[in-house]
Each structure stands twice: as C-alpha cells, then as structure tokens.
Structure 1
Amino acid sequence: MQPANKRMKHLPILLAALLACTGTSAQEASDPYAKARAIIGDLGRITAPGGVQDSYKTRIGGIDQWLNVRGQDRANPMILFVHGGPASPVTPTQWQFQRPIEEYFTVANWDQRGAGKSYGETDPQTVAGTIRIERYVDDAIEVAEHLTARYGKRKLILMGHSWGTIIGLRAALKRPDLFFAYVGIGQVLDIRENERIGFEYAMAQAQRDNNAEALQELRSIAPYPGDQPITRERIIIARKWPQHYGGLSAFRSESGYYFQGPLLSPEYTPAQVDDLDKGSLLTLGRVLPEFLAVDFSTVKRFPIPVVMFLGRHDYTTPTAPTVRWMAQVEAPSKRIVWFEHSAHMVPWEEPGKTLVSLLEFVRPLAR
C-alpha cells in the first residue's frame, strides 16, 4: 500500500480511470445535469428539412440580446413569446411544454435585457440605467421587426406571460401593424387591484387553516396595499402566501418543476442558470415604481384580436380585472379561454389545452 500522501497525489489519475470505465467524463462528474441536458437536447432537436432551430444574439435597443427560434416548418405562423419576471425567461424551461406547439407554430423566445442569456452580454451597470417599461416595449417592437425580416413573415402572433403582458399589451397598442393577434397569459391589468385580491385570498385561506405563521405575516402588512408604499418587502410577503395556497401553480404549495427546470435546459450553461437570479436582482427594484402604476383599465379600444388564457386559480395575477376589461373593451375580436386546472403557469400546467387552444382560437387569426 502506498503512503497516504502518494495516494492523494494520484487520486485525480485514479478518478479519471474510474470515470473512463463507467463512461462518465470528469466534466459530467462536476456537472451532474450534463447528461440529462444532452438527452433533452437530442429529443428536442429539429430534424425536419423545413424546420428551424436557431439560437443567437442580435443587436436590440443598442445591446446584444438573445433569441431562441424553433419550429418544425418555417412556413407556419410565428409566435413571439414575451416572458415574465421581470427577468424570468421562458427559454430555460421551454423544454417542459413547447415541443408539441412547434409542430404548428414557429416559436421565438426572447431573453429580455438584463435577463437570462442576455444578462451576460452587457455590463449590468450599463443596462441598469435602461430598466424602464417603455424601453422593454421598444425592444419588443424591434425584436418583432427583426423576426419578420429574418424569417420572411408579414406579421407575428404576440404572446405575453405575466410581466410580459405589460410589454406585450403596450407593444400591440403602439405597433398593431406588426401583429395578427395578442394572447395574454396571466394578464396584468391593474396592479394595485391584483395585489388587493391576492392578499385577500391568502388571508381567507390562512384563516380557514388557522395558519398562525401566515396570519402573522399577512397582518404585519395589512391593510394591503392600503395607503402605504408598496415596498419590495411588502410584496414578498403578499406574494408568498397566495402562492403557498396554489395561486402560482394550482393545487401546489411549491413550483420546483419551474424554478429548478433551468438546471436541465439544453439551451443554458450552469453559469447562465446562475445569471437568472442576478437578472432578477438587477431589474426588479429598478422597474418596481413603474410596475406598481400599471393600469390598463382605461384602455377602451384594442386594435387587434385579443385572446386571454386565464388560469381559474391564478392569484399571482388575479383574473377578475382582466375579465372586467374584456367585457368592456372594443376589439376586432376577443375571447377568454379558461384553464380549470391552472393558476398562473398555464402553459406548464396544462400544455395540452394550451396547444389545442392555440390551434382553435389563435392560429385562424394568422391570415
């Protein structure tokens, strides 16, 4: 037997030999998700001759931003999916639900400024001063113009989720000529009203369960939102308990499938997964004052067809304000589609119904 110090000296060599025998590389050993990502990536590889599978950065709004474009037939209508957050890209979890949609649509996911893969392209301090809602709206319009030119599309379907519905609705109002229709998922309509409804739901659930911890925390910010400033600290408490009671993912107190999903993304490196949290820290506080003032209830006319995908149990962006708005707004056509087994994460929670609803209610509008 070798002395202990010599055994330690040769340990890397022995480990490499062992890994070679088991078919595992040293890189895979240090990154336990690498093999799973490769399998998911292979399953999702577009092999159809007329398909498209592009991942690239391009200059948008003066900085490099990332686009991910996928579809089995580039002749299909194209969806521009504007993600939520702020700074919560769809790209790292698209593998969980998007593949069937790609048979009927080409889907473009865009990592917004300061978010996901775009975060690492520009010095965060350079981006920090540009974190304004109107800048995101102009970025979305520029992305739409870029996609129509690159892929030979006359118009796109514009689809937004959560925070992305603020950007999407404003982009549609500003440049309706670029879009066949608008699809809102977890639509933000009136932030203060959303906050009030979500808080009241959480309080009622906590009282029903006699949840002492929840009641103590919720009462510490009551009345909410009230007349006090809606600070980041108050929002965290106000969102924590509706989500605990299924207001983010229906019938679930946690949403690990979503928050841990990027670890298995074939589109993201581990470093880019780490950048997701950095992007949230960069953007949320800076955009918060504008975010809290969002109210589309005064919009009486909408220039393009509008379809709302609403989760019946959504208490992250409660649906009541959107239902009221849809009843009074004038539009070329309008429709609400209810997802009875979803809360806020409709495409992830009910991917089958998402596909069927896109085919039945949205694809016919892309003419």
Structure 2
Amino acid sequence: MKNNLKRPIYIEEYVPINDIHQYLFHSGTKHDSPVMLYLHGGPGSPESLFAYAFQEKWEDIFTVVHYDQRGSGKTLTKNPDKYPTIDLLIKDLYETIQYLKKKYNKEKIILLGHSWGSVLGSTFIKQYPEEVAYYIGVGQVVNMLENERVGYEKVKELIIQANDKKSLKKLEAIGDYPGDKFDRNCLKKCMQVRKLQGKYNLAVKVDLSICKTAFKSPIFKLSDISAMIKGVKANEEIQDYLGAFGLNSECAEYKVPIYYILGGNDWQTPYVIAKEYFNKINAPRKEFYLIPNAGHMTMLDQPQLFFDTLLEINNKEKLRIFSHS
C-alpha cells in the first residue's frame, strides 16, 4: 500500500464486525476532521479501488473511510462463504459506525451512499438516525423498476435519433423490459441494456479505461478481480432486495439532514426520479444538487464540481453547528 500523498491517516485494516473480519480503508489529513463513511454500489462492487482517483481534495475536509461490504471486494476474499442479507448488512453498518465513532472520538458519522449504497444508507438512517450527522445520496435509487423504465426509454430515444439501426435491433431483441418484476431474468436483460446505455454515455461503461483506473489503485490486489466476479453470486439475495426496493412507497420523513448529489447525464439511476422523491422529503435540512455533464460515477466524471458541492455541504453543516454553540 503506497501512501503517495503522505497522508497522516492512511490505514488498511480488517476489523471484527458482526462475527467476521471486514475491510476498511481510511484516508485523511487531520485527526479532528469529520468522518465520512462511503457506502459503495453494486451490490458487490467496492469503490475503495477508485478512491485515489477522486477523493484527494475530499481528505482536506473529511477523514474518508471506504468499507468493502459483506459479499464484496476484500471482505469477500477474506470471507468467501459469508454472503449478505439486508439484515446482516444493516447490522454490519451499525457495528462499523460504532467502531469509527470510538476510533475517531465522534458522536456521529457522515454517511455517503452511492447507487446500491444509497439503498443501504437510506434504509439505515430510517432505523438509526441518531448515529448519522447527515446523509449524502449519490446516484440515489428510489425505485429500481422505475429507474429501468425511464433509462430504457431514454436510450431508445437516443438510438432512434441517431438512426442507429444495429443498436435498435439489439434493444428490440431484449423484448419486454423491465417487466413488472426485477428478478434474475430481468437482471440478465439489464446487463444488455447497460451496454447500450454505456454506448450513449447514459450509464457506467465497464471498459478498459475503468479497469485501468482500478488496476492503478495503490490498494489493488489480483484477488480483487476474482472478488468482483464472485460478488455477483454472493449478492444474489441482495439483488432480489434491490429489485423490490421502493422509497416512494414509504414515508418520506427523515430525522437527519438529506443531501442528494446527482449527475445530469445519469440515466442508470435517473435524476428525474430522485428529484420527484426529494421534493416529498421532510427532513431537518435538505438540498438537491445536479452536477452537469456527469453520469452515474458522478465523482469520477466531474471531480472538481463534486468536491465543490461537498465543500458547500460541509460549510453549511459547520455553520449550523457554530450558530448553535
């Protein structure tokens, strides 16, 4: 592990969490900074490998902790037969937060959930609002089936505009999509839709470029490749949970401040759906940010604009604390 930036906080560790050893990666510049726990997407796709590519400036204001969830990344490599359920992941997250609070002497932790991590984060803050200073949703999932309907119509629209007959034929071959249930058959179709969305920059492209970014990570190991492949099977039950997930069918009352940072070109988790739900949210404070020319990997696509947004959120929260002290 290379600490190229000579960070005072730069730790890789396996911590006993909920009966297994789980992987945490900490990086920061000051021991008294607020602690942000980053919940990765997927399920089964840890983003700790990409941290070096987008979060250097973040570490000036936060101590950022990446956590490879049960059934993902380095935690899966360490525990190849320990598969997640939503109840286990919520308990894992609770215990991880207790560990971080004690380690950094904090009363609360900031949660940032990206994509699938936004499902886990949104579920957690409903159950344990007292543990979280505020929540940031990136690529916020509100309803998986609705995401797929809107994203499918968008790529179809662009394919027709471009008179791309080859892609249109591929899209039509997929058949009815997404249907009325996001099951494993739908997931297979989803992978085909993602390829077409990637071609039109509407979703993450799994190509050589993104692979190179992961391989260059100072914490990359060859075992991370096999973990990524095995993560699909390990997270089958979580995929089922995700497929049935719907925030818009639940009460939109939150006891923690809510911030959404969404990409203007993200049609994998379309911002239009998150915006509609966000308008219904009742929370102590809330703010919606749309980053132009950014897709689903919003922080990688527009790192400076994303950092500027985090800085604004942090300043708002600091000002509130100062005004109440």
TM-score, scaled relative to structure 1:
0.82
User: What does residue 138 of structure 2 align with?
Assistant: 185
Between the aligned partners of 2:181 and 2:90, the Cα distance in structure 1 is 29
User: Would you identify which runs of 4 or more consecutive aligned residues in structure 1 move more than 3 Å?
Assistant: 227-230, 253-257
* Corresponding residue of 1:45: 6
> Structure 1 pair 302/316, CA: closer, same or farther in 2 (3 Å)?
same
- Which residue of structure 2 aligns with residue 27 of structure 1? none
Show CA shifts across 1:180-239 (max 9, x none).
100000000011100100111111111122223321222123332224664222111222
Correspondence for 1:200 among 147, 153, 164: 153
What is the one-letter code of the residue matched to 2:288? I
Residues 278-297 of structure 1: pairs in structure 2 closer than 5 A: 278-283=230-235, 285-297=236-248
1:322 aligns with 2:274: yes
Pairing partner for 2:96 from 117, 140, 143: 143
Is the 2:144–2:182 Cα contact (8 Å) retained in structure 1? Answer: no
Partners of 1:161 and 1:132 lie apart in 2 by 18
Matched, 1:162 2:115: yes
- Output the CA distance in 2 between the equivalents of 1:71 and 1:346: 21
Decide whether the 8 Å contact of 1:243 with 1:315 is kept in 2: no
- Residues 67-86 of structure 1 correspond to what in structure 2 (within 5 A)? 67-86=24-43
Please state if 1:94 is matched with 2:55.
no
Is 1:54 the counterpart of 2:11? The answer is yes
**Which residue does the alignment assign to 1:334?**
286
1:87–1:280: 8 Å Cα contact kept in structure 2? yes
Residues 175, 217 of structure 1: alpha-carbon distance in 2 compared, 3 angstrom cutoff: same
Letter in 2 for 1:83: H
Of 64-73 and 264-273, deviating more is: 264-273
Q: How many angstroms does 1:321 deviate by? A: 1.6
- Give the partner amino acid of 1:184: G
Q: Give the total of aligned pairs.
A: 316
2:200 aligned residue? 245
Structure 2 stretches of 5 or more lacking a match? none
Measure the CA separation in 1 of the matches of 2:108 and 2:268.
Answer: 31
CA shift, 1:363, in A, is 4.5
- CA drift at 1:168: 0.5
| Cα RMSD after superposing both structures | 1.8
The alignment partner of 1:328 has SS state of coil
Report if aligned partners of 1:159, 1:183 keep a CA contact under 8 Å in 2.
yes
Gaps of 5+ in 1: 1-37
Query: Is the aligned partner of 1:355 residue 2:307?
Result: yes
Q: Which stretch shows the higher mean deviation, 227-236 or 318-327?
A: 227-236
Letter in 2 for 1:101: W
Report deviation, 1:42: 4.4
CA distance in structure 1 between the aligned counterparts of 2:18 and 2:193, rounded to whole angstroms: 34
Q: Which amino acid aligns with 1:235?
A: C
Partner SS, residue 157 of structure 1: strand
Q: Which structure is larger by alpha-carbon Rg, 1 or 2?
A: 1
CA distance in 2, matches of 1:299, 1:319: 20
Match of 1:6 in 2: none
Q: Which amino acid letter does the alignment assign opposite residue 126 of structure 2?
A: L
Q: How high is the TM-score relative to the length of structure 2? A: 0.92
User: Per the alignment, in what secondary structure is the counterpart of residue 260 of structure 1?
Assistant: helix
CA distance in 2, matches of 1:300, 1:361: 21
Instruction: Answer yes or no: is the 8 Å Cα contact 1:66–1:118 preserved in 2.
Output: yes
Q: What is the rounded CA distance, in whole Å, between the counterparts of 1:259 and 1:192 in structure 2?
A: 28
Match for 2:21 among 64, 85, 106? Answer: 64
Tell me the equivalent position of 1:264.
Answer: 216
Residue type of the partner of 1:354? F
Cα offset, 1:59, TM superposition: 1.3
Counterpart of 2:173, as a letter, is S
